[in-house]
Structure 1
Amino acid sequence: MGKAKTSKRGNATGPYERPSKSKNNAAVNNVFKFTKDLGQHILKNPGIAQAIVDKAYLKPTDVVLEVGPGTGNLTVQILNQARKVIACEMDPRMAAEVTKRVQGKPEQKRLEVILGDVIKTDLTDMNFDVCISNTPYQISSPLIFKLLRLPKPPRTCILMFQREFAMRLTARPGDPLYGRLAVNAQLYAKISHVLKVGRANFRPPPQVDSSVVRLEIKTSDRPNISFEEFDGMLRICFNRPRKILRSAFLGSKEVLKLIETNYRLWCAQNDIPIDESLVDDAGEDEDMEVDDNDNDPSNMDVDGDDNELPSFFGATKTTDEGTVAKTKSSGKKTRLAVLVKEKVRKVLEETELAESRSAKMDENSFLRLLAAFHAEGIHFS
C-alpha cells in the first residue's frame, strides 16, 4: 500500500511557519507569521526594552497597562519592576505567547491578559498607574486621546510611535509639524520626547524609524471645556495654519455658513429670536482678499493641505486693460448671516488675534479665543 502524500513542513501556510532561509525572508520571525494589518513589529532589542521601562520610573506598587504586548519582550521587563501588568492584545496567538512566557513562574499571578481591541475596551474602571505601549501605528491617535480623556488617567504614559507622528505630537508653536494634534494633546498633558528607536530594532523591521514619548497627564489644571468644541474650532484654525485668523474665519463662506448654522441652533436651544429677513449684499468683501504676507516663504503651508478653490472659481477677473478686478457678489444675505459675521469679527478684534497665525499660537491663545466665541454665543460642535 502506497504512502499517503504529506506536505513538507517547509511549505506550511498556517499562522505558524518555519523560518525561510531565503534572503527575502531573513527578517521574518521564527515563530509567527506577522499580520501587517495589525501593525505587528516586535521589539527585539532587550536594551531598548529595558530603557523604555526605566523611563516609566515604575514603583513596586504600580499597576501597568501594556497595549500590544506581542510576544512579551516588554512585558517581562515590566513585571520585574511593577506589582501587576494588564496586557491588552488583539491577536490570540500573541496573547497565548505572552501567557506562555510566564507560565509556571511567580510572575504568572501578576499578569492579566485581555484579548481584544484596546480602542473598543472600556478602561474607565480599570485602575492602572502607568501605560506602556509599543503602539501599532494605526491606533496612535485614538489611543492617545482615549488615555487623555479618562476620568482617572494614568500618572505617566510611555508610548512608542512612528517617528513623524511623535514629532508632530511634541511640536511647539512655530515648528513645521505643529498642528491640531499637538495643540489638542498638549492641552491635556505635558509631552516630551524620550528616545529614538531605529527600525533595525524590530522584527520584522518597519519602513520607518520610531520614537518614544512620555505623557504626563494633567489632573488638577485640566481645562473645563468640551474636547469636541475645542477641536471643532481648531479644525477651522488649522485648515490653513499659516494664514491669519481673519482670513481663516472671515475669508471662507463655508466656515461662516457653518458658524451661522451652529449659532442658529444655539439660539433655538436658548429661546433667542433671530432675524432671517434679507438684506442687500454689500458687494465687495474685504475679508475675501488674500493676506498681504501670503507670498512670504516663511508663511507657506508645509503639509500640502491647500483647500482653496481653483483660480477659475476665484473672485477676480481680468479687465480690458489687463488689470485684475474683484467680482462683486449679486446675491442676498440674511440679517442673521450679517450678525454672525460681525460677531466673528468682534471676537477676533477684541482678542487681538485677527492677525495671528495658528501655526505660531499656543494653547492658551486658543483657549482665550474659544472663550470669546462662547461669550458671543458661537459654538463649534
Structure 2
Amino acid sequence: MPKIKSEKRNDARKSGSLQGQGIHFNRDFGQHILKNPLILNAIVDKANIRPSDVVLEVGPGTGNLTVRLLEKANKVIACEIDTRLVAELQKRVQGSPLASKLQIIQGDVLKLDLPYFDVCVANLPYSISSPFVFKLLLHRPLFRSAVLMFQQEFAQRLVAQAGDKLYCRLSINTHLLSRVDHLMKIGKNNFRPPPKVESSVVRIEPKNPPPDINYKEWDGLVRIAFVRKNKTLAAEFKAKTALEVMDRNYRIHCSQHNLPLPPDFDIRGKVDEILQKSGFAQKRSRNMDVDDFLQLLQEMNAGGLHFS
C-alpha cells in the first residue's frame, strides 16, 4: 500500500498546483478536480480503451485523468474551457513521450463541433449534464462508449426504468438512443474543492444502428406525456398547450394531404378517439417504456397527429 499512498500524494500535489500558483478553481465553470488515484484508475479501466482508440476527454482540469488516458490510447482530444487549465495541461505533458498524443481544444464543448472519437471520458460541470448527453447521443459517426461523471441524482435519472420514482423524460430519451449503466458512486471528498453533492459514474453505449424514427416527433410527444407523468395520457393530452400544438399540426396535415376538415372539427375529440382506440387513454407515462412510446407515436401519426 505505500505505493498507492505515494501516488495519491503525488496526484494531490499536481491537482493543487494551480492553487499553489495563486490561481483558484473557477466555480462558475463547475471545476472540481478528481484527485483520488484509485478512482481515476477505475474510470480508465471501465472505459476499456484500446491502443488504437481516439479518446475525447471533456473537462481535463489539471490532467490527472488525461495522463492515464494518454498511456492507454492512440490519441486524446481534450476539450477545456479555461485557458489557465489549458496551459497547465500543456506544461504537464511537455517534453514527455505523451505530448505528441495530446490535442487540446479550448472552448465551450456545447458550442463546439465534436471531432471523431471512439470513446468519451468526462468529468463534466454538472450544469451542462443534460445538453451534453444529448449532444453526445446525436453525434455522428457513432462512438463506441462514453464513461461520464455526473451529479448522483442526475445519474440515477439516466438509468431509471419505467415505474421507478426518478423515471422522467431524460430517462426515456436516453433509453431510446442508448444503453446506460451505473458504474460507481464517488464521494464528494474525492474532489478538490469538494462539491456540495455526491457523484456517480455511468457508461453510455449508443444503439447501433440508431432507431429509425423522427426525433423531433418523438421529443414533441414525450414532452407532452411527461409534463405530469402521474396523470393518465387522456388527461395529459387534453392540456391546452398540447391541444394547440396538435390542432395546428393536424390542420397542416389535412392541407398537405387534401383531406377535408369539418367546420365543427374539435381536436379534443380526435385525440380522445385515438387514445381510446389504441388502449393508451388510461396509461401513465411513469409506467411506459420505449416500446410503449414508439407504439403510441405510431398510433398518433397514423391518425394524422404530429408533434414536430
Same fold (TM over 0.5): yes
In structure 2, what is the Cα distance between the partners aligned to 1:145 and 1:156? 14
SS at match of 1:272: coil
Q: Say whether residues 1:229 and 2:225 are aligned partners.
A: no
Distance 1:62 1:257 in 2: 48
Deviation (angstroms), 1:377: 1.3
Task: Determine the C-alpha separation between the residues in 2 that align with 1:136 and 1:270.
Answer: 47
Q: Which deviations, in whole Å up to 9, do the C-alpha atoms of 1:34-64 show, x marking residues without a partner?
A: 1111111110111111111100111111110
**1:366 has 2:293 as partner:** yes
Q: Residue 164 in 1 paired to residue 153 in 2? A: yes
2:240 paired with 1:253: yes
2:65 corresponds, among 74, 84, 97, to 74
Of 178, 188, 194, the match for 1:189: 178
Matched, 1:263 2:250: yes
Aligned partners of 1:237 and 1:358 also within 8 Å: yes
Identify the residue that residue 150 of structure 1 maps to in structure 2. Answer: 139
For residues 273 and 103 of structure 1, what CA distance do their matches in structure 2 show?
A: 71
Q: Distance in 1 between matches of 2:99 and 2:77?
A: 12
Matches within 5 A, 1:4-83: 29-31=19-21, 32-83=23-74
CA distance in 1, matches of 2:258, 2:107: 46
Match of 2:75 in 1: 84
Q: Does 1:348 align with 2:298?
A: no
Residue type of the alignment partner of 2:139: L
Alpha-carbon separation, structure 1, partners of 2:55 and 2:246: 43
- Matched residues in 1 for 2:109 and 2:171: separation? 22
In structure 2, the residue matched to 1:274 is 261
- For 1:188-337, list aligned pairs within 5 A: 188-220=177-209, 222-250=210-238, 252-275=239-262, 277=263, 335-337=264-266
| 2:97 aligned residue | 106
Q: CA deviation digits over 1:208-244, x for unaligned, max 9?
A: 0100000011112x21122222111111111111111
Deviation at 1:367, TM superposition (A): 0.6
In the alignment, which residue of structure 1 is the partner of 2:7?
Answer: none
1:30 and 1:357 map into 2 onto residues whose CA distance is 55
For 1:283, the equivalent position in structure 2 comes to none
Higher alpha-carbon Rg:
1
One-letter code aligned to 1:258: V
Q: Distance in 1 between matches of 2:190 and 2:270?
A: 55
**1:69 alignment partner AA:** P
Secondary structure at the aligned position of 2:139 is classed as: coil
Paired AA for residue 151 in structure 1: R
Gap runs ≥5 in structure 2: 1-15
Deviations 1:239-262 (A, max 9, x none): 111111111113x23322221112
Number of corresponding residues = 291
Cα RMSD, aligned residues only: 1.5
Would you say 1:174 and 2:101 are equivalent positions? no
TM-score using structure 1 length = 0.74
Q: CA deviation at 1:350?
A: 2.7
> Any gaps of 5 or more consecutive residues in structure 1?
1-25, 278-334
